[in-house]
Each structure stands twice: as C-alpha cells, then as structure tokens.
Amino acid sequence: MGSTECTEREHVIEVTDLRRVYGGGFEAVRGISFHVKRGEIFALLGTNGAGKTSTVELLEGLAPPASGRVRVLGHDPYTERDMVRPRTGVMLQEGGFPAELTVTETLRMWAGCVSGAGPVEEALALVGLQGRATVRVKQLSGGERRRLDLALALLGRPDVLFLDEPTTGLDVEGRRDTWELVRSLRDAGTTVLLTTHYLEEAEALADRLAILHAGRIAALGTPAEVTAAQPSRISFRLPEGYALGDLPPLPELGVCGHETRADEIRLHTRQLQRTATELLLWARRAGVELRELDVRSASLEEAFLGIARESSAPSAPHDASTVAQRGAFAAARRGLFAAGGQNGEQDKERAA
Ligand SMILES: Nc1ncnc2c1ncn2[C@@H]1O[C@H](COP(=O)(O)OP(=O)(O)OP(=O)(O)O)[C@@H](O)[C@H]1O
C-alpha cells in the first residue's frame, strides 16, 4: 500500500505548520498543525479574525500556503485540485445564488458543474426543502438559503464536507435538523470540517475541535479534553457574619483561584470532587448554610472565553488596502465556486 493511500485512510485532512500571509505581509495563519480522521466531525472555533476562513480556504485549495503543508484525501488541494475537488463539498458563508432561479433550477445548474452529482430531489430531501422546490431563490428566508447552500454542497455526495458557519440564520428547529443531518453524514463515513461561532453547536457536534486565536491554535482536542484543561467553579454565599477567611486555607481545599463579590464567593479548582467534598464537610462541621450553592465543570464557552482573554494581544492593524483586498478575495471566492470550482489565474494573484 502506498503512503498516500495510508494517509488518506487515517487522516483525511492533514495540516502541518501551516502559514498564510496576505499581501502587505499580514500573517493571518501562523504555523498551525492538526489532522481530521475519516468519518470525524472537526470544528474550527475562534474569535472574529482568528484565521478560520483563511485556514479553510487553504484546505479548499483556493490559495497556496505561504509555508507548511496541507493534504486533503492524501493530495495537495491547490496543486492537485483535480484529485480533490470532485470529492469535496463546500458550503460557503454566502452562496450568492442568482435570485431569479427557483430552488430546483439552482440545484440543476450546480449539478451540471459537479462531477458525479446525485439526484437533485435527493439533496432537496436531505435538507428538508422539498416543499420549496419551485420557489425563487429571492423569496427564500435566510434560513432556507442556508439549507440550499447545504444542498449544493451535498449534491456531489462528497467524502469531505467543508461547512462555513452552516447554521447561521437558522431557527432552533432548523439548527437541530442540520445537526442531525451532519451527524448522519458522519455516521455514513463523510469527514466534516466546520467553522462555527456557536459553542453549543461545537459541543453538540464536534468529535474534536481547535480553538484558533490570532492565527494560532490555542486549544485542540475533544470538547471534553478542551474543557478539562479549564478549572471548574464552585460559587455560594456565606451567612452574615462569615467571611472567606473562615473557610479552611484554600490550598487545603484544592482551590487554585478565587473571587469575591459582596457576599458571593467563587472558588476555582482543578479537583472539583475534592474541593466540593472538603467544603461541604467544613460547612457541616461549622453548621453553616452555603446559600445559592452552584457547582459546575467548565463549559466549552468558559474555555473559549478564557482563551480569548488570556491571549488578547492586539493583532497587527490593517490598512485600507488590506481591507479592500479582503473584500476582493471574498467576491472572487464566490465567483470561483459559482464558475464550477475551476482553479484560475485569480488564485495565483490573490495568493501572492
Ligand atoms: N484577503 C485578505 N487580505 C488581507 N487580510 C485578510 C484577508 N482576508 C482576511 N484577512 C485578515 O486575516 C485575519 C483572519 O481573517 P479570517 O477571515 O480568516 O478570520 P475568521 O476567523 O474567519 O474571522 P470571522 O469569524 O470574523 O469570520 C483577519 O485579521 C482578517 O482581517
């Protein structure tokens, strides 16, 4: 078995020391490494401007990296685009469909650009848009357009699916339906890489995730691993006449940090069971009621906010030409996909 086949079977996406530098020298992606296994859902999270889209565009083969390596299905998505593109489905943040076409016409048009496209009706049914088949795109709601985006990404029955904020604009039910669909695609063997701003979405869907901040990976692992790296929290109020100093010494309770706000005390601990037990034993011995007692493990949201706070060094300021380039790239990206995913000269220019 060749090494390419081996890599493809184990790591459908491989990213090593990846860097992306825009014209003007701004380094948006600063040496990141991760992999995604076959049949895994991997979420890329991050603050605004963290580098998620810049990374995904390299994975989609829209530009070459400044340095480092990307492999998708064992191939370089930029130089071996023909090997990769037919097996990937891409859901962009903005589809940019012709407004006058109906839903079915849009899918048929796209099916003509996709190799090995499945039936249009199949894609429609997957995203629950059967009832809207004859409606013009301009009459769709924002959520329905997102679902049409997803249907387009699924038309070619891809092995790898890139989803850029797939549920933005969907109502709660639409979001849950999309999660179900993404899970069933994963269970059928599709590898999914998604970006999202919804932490509950990452928590609900992702097998593994990376939190990007200022172009670097600040956390990587399963949702449980990422949250376990953050301290848990115990908060309570003491009765009048009691203060923090009445508690046993905090290190003896396994506490690694604390805050007080009026009569509310918050203890941070990496040994939740030990701290909670010692605290409750003390309260019983002292005959003290811990009012509004709240014991909780760190959530992904807390981990995310902790990372954003810790590494909030300002990034390089952008001048007007950078902003203009960014807009031009986004427009070109839409055009590229609408033109059937052909790699063009524009790519090389943008990548310069
Ligand atoms: N074409 C471009 N030219 C120059 N700078 C760019 C370009 N595209 C993006 N950037 C900059 O690179 C950084 C990363 O942007 P990117 O869009 O990858 O972040 P993101 O994590 O996807 O953000 P968001 O969550 O806001 O979509 C930002 O500072 C952004 O301004």
ipTM (interface predicted TM): 0.97
Closest ligand 1 atom number to CA of residue 50: 21
Residues 281 and 239 in one domain: yes
Residues 129 and 243 in one domain: no
CA dist., res. 18 & res. 316, Å (int): 19
Of all protein residues, whose CA lies closest to atom 29 belonging to ligand 1? 49
Our answer on whether the CB atom of 86 is closer than 6 Å to any ligand 1 atom is no
Q: What is the pLDDT of residue 111?
A: 85
Of all protein residues, whose CA lies closest to atom 7 belonging to ligand 1? 326
Residues 115 and 27 in one domain: yes
Q: Is 128 domain-assigned?
A: yes
Rounded distance from Cα 206 to ligand 1 centre (Å) = 23
Residues 131 and 19 in one domain: yes
Residue among 47, 53, 59, 336 whose CB has most ligand 1 atoms within 8 A, to mutate: 53
Contact 139, 155 (CB under 8 A): no
Residues 222 and 237 in one domain: no
Residues 83 and 195 in one domain: yes
Residues 221 and 235 in one domain: no
Our answer on whether the CB atom of 49 is closer than 6 Å to any ligand 1 atom is yes
Our answer on whether the CB atom of 107 is closer than 6 Å to any ligand 1 atom is no
Our answer on whether the CB atom of 48 is closer than 6 Å to any ligand 1 atom is yes
Q: Treating both helix axes as pointing N-terminal to C-terminal, what angle do 103-111 and 142-154 enclose, rounded to 10 degrees?
A: 30
Question: Distance of CA 44 to CAs 10, 197, 223, Å?
Answer: 20, 9, 12
Our answer on whether the CB atom of 168 is closer than 6 Å to any ligand 1 atom is no
Residues 86 and 38 in one domain: yes
Q: For the chain, 352 residues long, give each residue's pLDDT as a single digit of tens.
A: 444 444 545 899 999 999 999 988 999 999 999 999 999 999 999 988 999 999 999 999 999 999 999 999 999 999 999 999 999 999 877 667 788 899 999 999 888 888 788 889 999 998 889 899 999 999 988 888 888 999 999 999 999 999 988 998 888 888 998 899 999 999 999 999 999 989 999 999 999 999 999 999 999 999 989 988 788 999 999 999 999 999 999 999 999 999 998 889 999 998 999 999 999 999 999 999 999 999 988 888 888 887 777 765 444 434 333 433 444 444 334 343 433 333 333 333 333 3
Rounded distance from Cα 48 to ligand 1 centre (Å) = 8
CATH number at residue 17: 3.40.50.300
Range of the domain at 264: 231-297
Residues 127 and 257 in one domain: no
pLDDT in tens, 67-123: 999 999 999 999 999 999 999 999 877 667 788 899 999 999 888 888 788 889 999
CA dist., res. 214 & res. 217, Å (int): 8
Q: Is 303 domain-assigned?
A: no
Contact 196, 167 (CB under 8 A): yes
Residue among 18, 168, 194, 326 whose CB has most ligand 1 atoms within 8 A, to mutate: 326
Of all protein residues, whose CA lies closest to atom 6 belonging to ligand 1? 326
Closest ligand 1 atom number to CA of residue 46: 21
Of all protein residues, whose CA lies closest to atom 28 belonging to ligand 1? 49
Contact 132, 177 (CB under 8 A): no
Rounded distance from Cα 263 to ligand 1 centre (Å) = 44
Strands 264-269 and 255-261 come out as: antiparallel
Our answer on whether the CB atom of 174 is closer than 6 Å to any ligand 1 atom is no
Our answer on whether the CB atom of 26 is closer than 6 Å to any ligand 1 atom is yes
Closest ligand 1 atom number to CA of residue 329: 1
pTM comes to: 0.77
Rounded distance from Cα 27 to ligand 1 centre (Å) = 10
Contact 56, 195 (CB under 8 A): yes
Q: Which helix (H) or strand (E) holds 94?
A: none
Q: Is 304 domain-assigned?
A: no
CATH number at residue 286: 3.30.70.980
Average pLDDT of the chain, as a whole number = 84
Residues 250 and 333 in one domain: no
Our answer on whether the CB atom of 53 is closer than 6 Å to any ligand 1 atom is yes
Residue among 18, 21, 26 whose CB has most ligand 1 atoms within 8 A, to mutate: 26
